[in-house]
Amino acid sequence: MERTGEGDPAQVVPLLWRQGTVVGRTGLTVDAVVTAGCELADEGGFAAVSMRKVAERLGRGAMTLYVHVPNRAVLVDLMVDAAFGEVSYDASGDDWRAGVRTIVETNRALLTRHPWLLDVDTSRPPLGPGTIAKYDAELALLAATGLPDVEVDQALTVLLDLVRSGVRRVLAADAQAEGEWWAVAGPLLAQLMDPADFPFASRVGQAAGEEYGAASAPDRALDFAVETLVAGLETRLP
C-alpha cells in the first residue's frame, strides 16, 4: 500500500501548488514528470512507477528528474493530487440525496479510470489544489443536509470509503467467470451441505445465488450500502 504524506511537507506542499518550480533546459517540468508517472501507473499500477522508469518514459536521465521532483514519495502525492484534480462537479442545487449519488458515480468513474488510486492510503491527504477542490465540491453537495460541519465531513469520509471498497470488489470481479464458477460450485455445495446444519447460510445463500447468478454482486452491494447511508443520514437531519 502506497501512502501520501510520506514526504517532507516543506518540499511537498509548495510543489503541489507549483511554487518555486522551474523549467529545465530541455523543457522538462513538474507537470511532465507527474503526467508520466500517472501514465505508468495507469498501465501497470504503482509497481510500474519508479523515478528511473519515469525518466525513461520522458527520455531523460534519472538525475534530471530530481531537479523537479526530489523523490518518489513526493511524486506519489503529486500524482494523487493530479488525479483528484480531474474531478469536477456542478455543486448547484440543494438536493443532497442527488449529491450523494453524484459523488458516488464521479468517484466510481475516477477509480475505474485510475485503479492505482485504490492502492494509496490518503489518510494524510496531499494538500494540493486538486485534492482540496475535490473535497470542497463534495462537501458543498453534502452541506445541504444541514448537518453540523464535522458530521458532513464524517459522512463524506464514510461515503468515499464505501465507494473505494465497492469499486475494488467490482474491478476484481469478472461477471462471466464468476457466473461460470457458481454454475459448477453451487450445485456441488448443495449436494454436500445439509441445510439443517447451516439454516441461515443455506436459505440466504440460495436466495442470493439465484438472484445474482454468482456468489456475490459487488455493484449491487455498493448501491445498497449507499442507500443505507442515505437512510441513516436522514435520521440525523436537523
Residue range 176-211, pLDDT digits in tens: 777 788 888 888 988 999 999 999 999 998 898 888
2-84: CATH homologous superfamily? Answer: Homeodomain-like (1.10.10.60)
CATH class of 96-234: mainly alpha
pLDDT of residue 236: 94
Proportion of the chain above pLDDT 90, given as a percent:
75
What number is the average pLDDT over the span 19-32? Answer: 83
Domain residue spans in the chain? 2-84, 96-234
Q: What is the value of pTM for the model shown?
A: 0.90
> C-alpha cell of 146?
444541514
Residues 6+ apart with CB under 8 A from 81: 16, 126, 128, 129, 130, 131
- Least Cα distance to 18 among 100, 123, 130 occurs for 130
